[in-house]
Every structure is written in structure tokens, then in C-alpha cells.
Chains A and B, each alone.
Chain A
Amino acid sequence: MHLDHTHGGPGAVSADARRADGSRRALRIGLGGPVGSGKTATVAALCRALRDERSLAVVTNDIYTREDAEFLLKEAVLPPERISAVETGACPHTAIRDDISANLEAVEDLEDEVGPLDLVLVESGGDNLTATFSKGLVDAQIFVIDVAGGDDIPRKGGPGVTTADLLVVNKTDLAPHVGSDLGRMAADAAAQRGALPVVLQSLRSERGVADVADWVRAQLAAWTA
């Protein structure tokens, strides 16, 4: 797929940068990572940080319930029509990597129904360390791990940790309680990722999601440039 290549007729194909009517589509950012690392909480915080600046929507990929979508609805981070849940058939990584059709459909429906949108956040269901998003589905991806999942995860690497456009090490406030060495995690991540950025974050701190939100703003600026 080539950016800016468009197909005739309705319904653009995956990575096309323009919608069928010729307008530029929303930037799509994927958030993946293991179960319980704080993906949904990060999505909620990003929505609160960005919703007054930009037109946003969220696609969730719950594994067997609508709980992530319902959490976002309950927290009222966005109006309900801007949140869409995709069912993944017991294989969350398939829906974001190998067969992205249901997610693309959800993104397109959101753009049709509540657009124009600037940004669509696509949240993966909690999965393993090898789960990454297809380039046909997202333009950039964030991989969220947390300090309580073990401070050896950055050293172990894997496609999510190594190749994601942004690595977030979440729940840094828990580090003293679970015996995780933040310095070691940061050093291991830097060694695995070269020049790719890493953010250490605690959503309970005053700074909250600010660093990740700034990174998203930079992606948006580059997309619309």
C-alpha cells in the first residue's frame, strides 16, 4: 500500500491516506501491551488531555467482553458515539496484525458517523509481548508495559518493546513496592530501542499522561504538515 494512493468507489483500502471523498483521513495510533499494563487508563487520560484540542475517537479490541469500551464510557472520556468496540474471536493479535478488516471497518465507520476526525486511538486487547499493529491499520504505535510486570521485560525485548514508535513504562509509582529498578528498565529499553523514545509514566503523578500526550501532538503535527 502506498500513502496517497486512492482507489475508485467507496471505502478506501487500509493504509490509504485519503478517504473515498478525497479528504485526508484521521491519524491512527495503536496502543498495545500485556494485560493490566494500563492501556485503557492511558487511553482515557489521553482523551482527557486532547479532546478539547482535537476531534478524537477510540476503537477498543476487548478479548471477550465490552469492558474496556464500557470503562471509557463510564469515565465519560468521550461521547459514546466516539467509542467503538471490535470483537476479536479469541485472538486479539490477529485483529490488529494479521486480519485487520474489522478494525479498519470500525475506524471508517467512526469517520463516517462522527467525523471529521483528527485522531483515532486503536487499543489492542491485552496480549503478549509479540503483539504489534499492522502498518495497514495504524500510522504509529505505542507499547505499554508496567513496572509490576517485572523489570526484566525491557531486557527481554520482543517486537512490541523493540519496535514500537513509543515505549511507555507505566505505573512507576509502584516501583518501590514491587522491587523494580526503574534505572535498569530505562537503560535496558534504551539498549533495545536505539533512538526510539521511551516514556516512564505514573498516571497518579501530577505530570500524568503529559509526556505521551506531547508525543501524540508531535505525531499529529507531522501527519497534518
Chain B
Amino acid sequence: MSRAALLVLADGRFPAGGHAHSGGAEEAVKAGRITGAASLEDFCRGRLHTTGLVAASLAAAAAVGVPAVELDAAADARTPSPTLRLAARRLGRQLMRAARATWPSDELDALAGEFPKGAHQPVVLGVAARSAGLGGDDAAHCAAYESVSGAATATVRLLSLDPFEATAVLARLAPEVDHVADLAVEAAAGALEQGAGALPAASAPLLEIGAEAHAGWAVRLFAS
């Protein structure tokens, strides 16, 4: 594997559409659940161990070769909110465009053909990692880190939170991100044997409900 390729894929400036999404932070800020660095950390920790674990497992499984179509159905089944399913497919389509331009591969072309309006983002992330010569561990780390980094940078914009404090939150969560990635890699190995149904199905009901509420707002900064 190339460590530098991992940095390219994990870079927050990788042009795959993530900047327009808050990972539920916009709704949580308005509801008063995120008010500063401490509550941002709580929010991110909750995200990491629920949707973060699921996303990391899907990404790792895709990277080690579990069939993407099966994983996409598993992602649908693990995402009750129609709004979040739509957001995940939009982001998957946007990541697909960036990945095909950066690491062209037959596997990416085939997945794009199968899902012209987008597969779930973590599934595309896993196949993109594979195309970049990266492994399941790399894909899991990318997905787990993204599950918290997007919410943190969105909160900097939403609350004018000190950017150093937001970055310190991410640094404090780093050991847990590593741990979640390890769990995801194990789960992906299980899915290779037993199919995508063996992947974790942790959920965060408040994120799902919040996403539906957020979608109905007339005025908002972020797409989700």
C-alpha cells in the first residue's frame, strides 16, 4: 500500500462533495445538542461508534472484495432515513467522479454503470481505495475519520467555534477512530466468509430523525 495515496484519499480537500454536508451537526447545533467543543466531542463520539462503524465496515468490505451490489443493499438496510439514503448516494456519486478521475479502474467503471445515480458513499470509498492500491484497513480508517471530521469542520462554520478546539477534538478521538477501524476490518473479514449481512448494524436514531427534520427546513447552510 501507498501511505501517500491514503493521504490523498483522506484529505478533507479531496473534491468529493463532502464540504456541503454537516453529518447532522447543523440540526444538532440548532437543537442545542452541540454548543461548544465538549458537546461536539460527545456528538462525534456517538457518530463514530454508530454510523461511523457501519460506514467503516462497508468501506473495508468493499476494499477487500465483498461484492459492491450486496454491500449497497446492506447499506440501504442500515439507513432507515430516506433523506440519509439519498445523501449517501449523492455523496457516493460525487466520490465516484473524483475517484474515476484520480484512480481510473474497471471496477469503478463497473460500479458507476451499476449505480448511475450513485451507490452508498462508503461502498464507493472502499472500491476507490482498492483502485488506489489501498487495503481494507485504509478504507476503514478513511470512513471512520470522515464520520467525525465532517461534523467537526461544519461546527466551526456553524458556531464560529475556535478551529483549534475543533481539531483538538478530532485528535482526542483518534485512538477511538483506530479502534473502530480495527473492528471494521474484522467485520469485513467476516463478511467475506458470511456475506454482507454479517456487518455491524449500529444505528443512531437521533441522527436519522434529525436528518428528516433538517430536510424540511426552508433555510439551512448544509445539504444534510
Which residues of B approach A to under 8 Å, CB–CB? 13, 15-22, 90, 93-94, 96-98, 100-101, 104, 109-110, 112-113, 116, 154, 157-158, 218-223
B116 / chain A contacts, CB cutoff of 8 Å: 10-11
A87 / chain B contacts, CB cutoff of 8 Å: 20, 220, 222-223
Contact partner, B90, options A90, A100, A105, Cβ 8 Å: A105
Interface size on A, residues (CB 8 A): 26
Question: What are 23 residue pairs bridging A and B, where the CB atoms are less than 8 Å apart in the complex?
Answer: A9-B109, A11-B96, A11-B112, A14-B97, A63-B221, A64-B221, A65-B218, A66-B218, A87-B222, A89-B20, A89-B221, A89-B223, A90-B154, A90-B158, A94-B19, A95-B19, A95-B20, A98-B15, A99-B13, A99-B15, A101-B16, A101-B17, A105-B90
Closest B residue to A104 using CB positions: B97
Chain A contacts with B in 1-25, Cβ cutoff 8 A: 7-11, 13-14
User: Does chain B have a CB within 8 A of A202?
Assistant: no
B93 / chain A contacts, CB cutoff of 8 Å: 11, 105
**Most chain B beta-carbon contacts within 10 A, residue among A9, A64, A65, A100:** A9
A102 / chain B contacts, CB cutoff of 8 Å: 17, 20, 90, 94, 223
Are A90 and B221 in touch, CB under 8 angstroms?
Answer: yes
Contact partner, B219, options A7, A8, A64, A90, Cβ 8 Å: A64
A127 to B86, CA, bound (A): 28
A91 to B150, CA, bound (A): 14
User: Does chain B have a CB within 8 A of A88?
Assistant: yes
Q: How far is the CB of A63 from chain B (nearest CB, A)?
A: 8
Are A7 and B104 in touch, CB under 8 angstroms?
Answer: yes
A88 to B222, CA, bound (A): 7
B223 / chain A contacts, CB cutoff of 8 Å: 87, 89, 102
Q: How far is the CB of A172 from chain B (nearest CB, A)?
A: 33
Q: How far is the CB of A223 from chain B (nearest CB, A)?
A: 23
A105 to B18, CA, bound (A): 14
A99 / chain B contacts, CB cutoff of 8 Å: 13, 15-19
Are B20 and A88 in touch, CB under 8 angstroms?
Answer: yes
A99 to B21, CA, bound (A): 13
Closest A residue to B156 using CB positions: A90
A11 to B21, CA, bound (A): 23
Contact partner, B98, options A86, A91, A94, A101, Cβ 8 Å: A101
Closest A residue to B22 using CB positions: A89
Q: How far is the CB of B96 from chain A (nearest CB, A)?
A: 7
Q: How far is the CB of A58 from chain B (nearest CB, A)?
A: 19
Are A10 and B100 in touch, CB under 8 angstroms?
Answer: no
